[in-house]
Every structure is written in C-alpha cells, then in structure tokens.
Amino acid sequence: MADFPQPVLDDIQRGKAFLSELDAEDSANMELGCVNCCVTNYECLSSIMNSLEMKVSLDEYDDDAIKLYGKMLIIIGDYTIKVPPTVDAGANQSVPINETAIFNATITPGSAAITNIQWTIVSGSGTLTNANTANVSVDDFIEGNTVLKVVVTDANGRTGSDTVTLTGTAVVETIKVYYRFQDTNVLPNEATVLASAFVNVIPNSDYVVPVTTNSAKYVMIFEQGTETFKARWVDTVDSDNNGLIGAGNTWDITSDVGQFRSYTTQFKTQFDNPIQLIKGIPQP
C-alpha cells in the first residue's frame, strides 16, 4: 500500500472546493443518488469525497482509493480552485478631528483580477473621498472611534475584507514662536518679527526652537506675551550646554516687541543644535 502522491492530494483539494460550489438547485434536484450520475451530481461527488477523505486520513492509497480518485476527476474535470482576494486596511490611526486621515489598503489578488474596491463607514461618522480606490481620505470624523471597512471583489465574485479604526482626537491649539538671526542686538519692530521664521508650539509649554547657526550673530526668539515665562534653556543634543535665562547668562529677556516677549542672546554667538526653552520664573 502506497502513500498518497502529492498531486493526488492536490486534486482532492480541488474536488472539495468543486463540491462546495455546486448550486443548491442542482443538489435539490437529486432523486436517484448515484444512479446515472451527471457531472454536477452533488450526492455522487459528496459520497466520493467522503470516501476519499477517509482513505487519506487512514493513508490507504489502494485500488479503491485510485478508483474513487478517477471518478472524482471525471466529475470535476479541469476545475480550478477560485482563491479569493485578501486586503489589509492598514494600521489604526489617531488623528485630530480638524485634519484629514488617509488609509492605504494593501490588496493581494486571488485567482482573478480585482474588479471593485469599496470603503464604507461601519460605525462613527465621516466623509470619505476616493472610497472606491485603495487609498481613501476621511474628513469630518467625530472625536472618538470611527470604524472603516474595505471590501475588494474579483472577477470570480470572490471578496476579501478588513476593518480599521480611526480615533478622532481633540484639536490641539498651537501658536507661533518666531525666531531670527541679526548682526546687531537691536530689537526689530513687530512687522519684522511677523515676517521671521517660526515654529508652531502648544501654548504655555516647553518648546524647541531650531536656532542653529554657524555664523556669529545675535539670536532672538519671540513668543506671545501671554505665554508662561521661560526660565531655562537647554541644548537638545549637548546636555552640558545649558543655563538659566536672566541677567548674567547666555539668554536674557529684553523689552517687549508689540504683542511679543523676546529672549535674546547677550552677545554674538552660534548654536550647533536646536535649543529648548523651559517654562518657569526667570532670574532677576
């Protein structure tokens, strides 16, 4: 008695798939069991497959198994298993509700070409753009969770689907902190400040300013006058390079410029790395 050859086992898998696809109408019309079988006779193929699966489980590739296998091939012919497509909707995301969330689905076709892609909202709310493509944009979503589902369909009618969660977070308010480099330590006017480079920061927090400069110039930073005072500065890379803000140190508070409070180096200098200004009461 021989083991089942792998090609035979592969064909048995085709037979099981073929059996699963027989129409319910064909099955309902069966009247005579295996007498005068036709190629779509559900009961015939079902009986053959049950017997073959038992033979496989017992590893009995004998004459009876070979005959059953031959009968199965007559019924299923050159049938090819229709492998469904798969899709990965991507990773869950947390995005502020005033921004746009973008999801990129990864689609793997099965036995046939993809004919349709469709994103929908399962729960929550939002406005979908390009919902019939792999890459969908979501706007107007709620604070909290919105669940999206993507379904792909192929030419065989097979589908694959996946879901992903978009967590809408509260809008984070930011303000602009301006900075500039000058050859002199004369404060500019407010219009010049507003035309300078800036970073967006969270109000009343510590923040980093990219004041890197290789030329020997004065560096000036301008924050809203309503902001919490900054008491220290720290090099973001070199922890040894830091100090207090106030008289006798590298940075000092100067006169206000319009709506802005300014921090200025007291002498021409250069910074190899961005610095962080840390809130607190400055030195007198």
Confidence band, pLDDT 50/70/90 cuts, at residue 102: very high
For the cut 60, the answer to whether the pLDDT of residue 198 exceeds it is yes
Give me the pLDDT at residue 84, please. 92
11 and 105 share a domain?
no
Out of 21, 48, 76, a domain closes at: 76
123 and 193 share a domain?
no
Residue 240 lies in a domain: yes
Give 284 or 153, the one with higher predicted confidence: 153
| pLDDT (mean) for 246-250 | 74
Mean pLDDT of the chain: 87
185 and 266 share a domain?
yes
**pLDDT per position as a tens digit, 21-41:** 654 445 444 443 444 555 456
Give me the pLDDT at residue 282, please. 67
Out of 169, 200, 228, a domain closes at: 169
Domain tally, the chain: 3
Task: Write down the pTM of the prediction.
Answer: 0.51
179 and 212 share a domain?
yes
Residue 90 lies in a domain: yes
187-195's contacts with Cβ under 8 Å and 24+ in sequence apart are 187/220, 187/254, 187/255, 187/257, 187/262, 187/264, 188/220, 188/257, 189/257, 189/258, 190/257, 190/258, 190/259, 190/260, 193/222, 193/257, 193/258, 193/260
- 56: alpha, beta or left, given left = phi > 0 and alpha = psi -120 to 50? alpha
Distance, in Å, from the CA atom of 262 to the CA atom of 187, rounded to the nearest integer, reads 9
- Give CA 281 to chain center in angstroms: 42
| pLDDT (mean) for 126-148 | 96
231 and 275 share a domain?
yes
The range of the structural domain enclosing residue 14 comes to 6-76
Per cent of the chain over pLDDT 70 is 89
